[in-house]
Amino acid sequence: MEILLTNLLILAQGGAKPETGNIHIRDGKIVHVGKCPKGCKYEERIDCAGKIAFPGLVNSHTHIAMTLLRGYGEGLPLHDWLEKKIWPAEEKLSKKDVRAGTLLGIIEMVRSGTTAFNEMYVTGVDEIAKAASECGIRATVGYGMLDRVGGKSREAVLKDAEAFAKRVAKSGGIVKPAICCHAPYTCSAELIQEGKALADKLDCMFHIHVSETRKEVFDNLKETKKRPVEYLQSLGALGKNTALAHCVFVTAREIKMVAESGASVLHCPVSNMKLAGGGTCPATEFASAGANVALGTDGAASNGSLSMLETMKIFSISQKNFYWDALRAPAGQALDFATQGGANALGINAGEIAPGKGADIVLADARAPNLSPMHDAASAIAFSMHPGNITDVLVCGKFLMRDRKITFADEEKASEDAKEISRRLVG
Ligand SMILES: [Zn+2]
């Protein structure tokens, strides 16, 4: 299928100058950007005057089915919230429930400009991978292993994780497997080592939560005499395919370790602040040290939403505020972390509007009052845009939303189904 999107204002990446022109898409990839060469052929020409195009956003860390628990136990401290509300409700989750929560999450993500997500969950990962594949959104999905809690042995969780990863890899397409260890405090040292070795063997991402709270850092120091990132390094768990969610409480030494290893940092500013962790991931210091930084929402239950637009803004303003530095984390960097940073972490050929890249593109109404006047396109996207401004979303050149209509699901039914399930979960 060949499509020509015409008369767009195009922001190819965070630091680029916006330009007016066309985007030509063939077989899921961008063929050219700007003026059309002579004799340019296409099957469909779509006039996009008044719209701005930017690369699809990548939600680098989420637990998508937690949409079903959005707002439940609101306002409780982290451990009360987990132990009294979230875990008991999650125990009741069936595979069908996970599927419904995933579909709702994908709809919300597409409406807010997300074209790829990185998922870790314990229940129903097959359903998550299947739903993503059927909807046509890019995803990396992993079964969240733990052996220090949850009653399953190391051998059993490794076996499940490997079998799941192989099933996903075999199905091909744009949904990829990952090997996930939940966290250093829920996984044994052997599980982390064997998990990373398995990810290397299967040539996929190794995804783990680390240094999310101060308590975790203190407990890890007490137990291992090492801080969590140092501990992971000592286990050989840092490498190019490692994706570290959170990294809030880290030292300069740990920042250097991450950068030197080639691992990615998955920064979830909204969830960190909403759970009152009290720190800020030094994301811009990680980037200055040479680490790849991506942004994520975390689950909707600890965030309130899956909007990467909101995440870009909160990332940027929290860095500025934390460092007392207005020059830090400019809008263009927020957009680059949310696009290229995420694409690098997930290993996908996207994150930029350029020839040869996957056609993961978001279009928004550039004439909307909240985006006018547009002195700075990156600022308009990262700081002023809301999901209601987004009109079209393409993944691999296919419309997942066209003229504000979701193409892959009945939106009303998806909301109703999720509502019904969530009543049972919290009952
Ligand atoms: Zn998480």
Q: Closest by alpha carbon to 422, among 93, 67, 68?
A: 68
Sign of the alpha-carbon torsion through 114, 115, 116, 119: positive
Task: Determine the average pLDDT of the residues in 42-66.
Answer: 97
Could you tell me the distance, in angstroms and rounded to a whole number, from the CA of residue 286 to the centre of ligand 1? 19
Could you tell me the distance, in angstroms and rounded to a whole number, from the CA of residue 61 to the centre of ligand 1? 6
Could you tell me the distance, in angstroms and rounded to a whole number, from the CA of residue 296 to the centre of ligand 1? 9
pLDDT tens sequence across 137-163 = 999 999 999 999 989 999 999 999 999
Position 342 pLDDT exceeds 90: yes
Could you tell me the distance, in angstroms and rounded to a whole number, from the CA of residue 144 to the centre of ligand 1? 10
Q: What angle do CA 390, 393, 397 make, to 5 degrees?
A: 155
Could you tell me the distance, in angstroms and rounded to a whole number, from the CA of residue 173 to the centre of ligand 1? 25
Could you tell me the distance, in angstroms and rounded to a whole number, from the CA of residue 388 to the centre of ligand 1? 26
pLDDT tens sequence across 199-252 = 999 999 999 999 999 999 999 999 999 999 999 999 999 999 999 999 999 999
Token code pair at residue 90: 């999650």
Task: Determine the average pLDDT of the residues in 43-60.
Answer: 97
E strands in 71-123? 114-121
Q: Closest by alpha carbon to 292, among 253, 262, 252?
A: 262
Position 362 pLDDT exceeds 90: yes
Could you tell me the distance, in angstroms and rounded to a whole number, from the CA of residue 49 to the centre of ligand 1? 39
Could you tell me the distance, in angstroms and rounded to a whole number, from the CA of residue 328 to the centre of ligand 1? 26
Q: Phi then psi for 297, rounded to 5 degrees?
A: -95, -25
Residues 64/101, Cβ–Cβ less than 8 Å = yes
Question: Which residue is listed with tokens 């984390």?
Answer: 329
pLDDT tens sequence across 17-43 = 999 999 999 999 999 999 888 888 899
Could you tell me the distance, in angstroms and rounded to a whole number, from the CA of residue 420 to the centre of ligand 1? 25
Q: Above pLDDT 90, what percent of the chain? A: 93
Task: Determine the average pLDDT of the residues in 45-55.
Answer: 97
Could you tell me the distance, in angstroms and rounded to a whole number, from the CA of residue 135 to the centre of ligand 1? 23
Position 292 pLDDT exceeds 90: yes
Task: Determine the average pLDDT of the residues in 117-144.
Answer: 97
The pLDDT score that the predictor gives to residue 205 is 98
Could you tell me the distance, in angstroms and rounded to a whole number, from the CA of residue 262 to the centre of ligand 1? 21
Confidence of residue 82 (pLDDT cuts 50, 70, 90): confident
Pair type for strands 405-406 and 398-402: antiparallel
Task: Determine the average pLDDT of the residues in 185-206.
Answer: 98
The pLDDT score that the predictor gives to residue 78 is 80
Residues 205/178, Cβ–Cβ less than 8 Å = yes
Question: Coil, strand, or helix at residue 135?
Answer: helix
The pLDDT score that the predictor gives to residue 38 is 83
Q: What share of the chain is helix, strand, coil (3-state, %, to 5)?
A: 45, 25, 35
Could you tell me the distance, in angstroms and rounded to a whole number, from the CA of residue 121 to the centre of ligand 1? 9
Task: Calculate the average pLDDT of the chain.
Answer: 96
pTM as predicted: 0.98
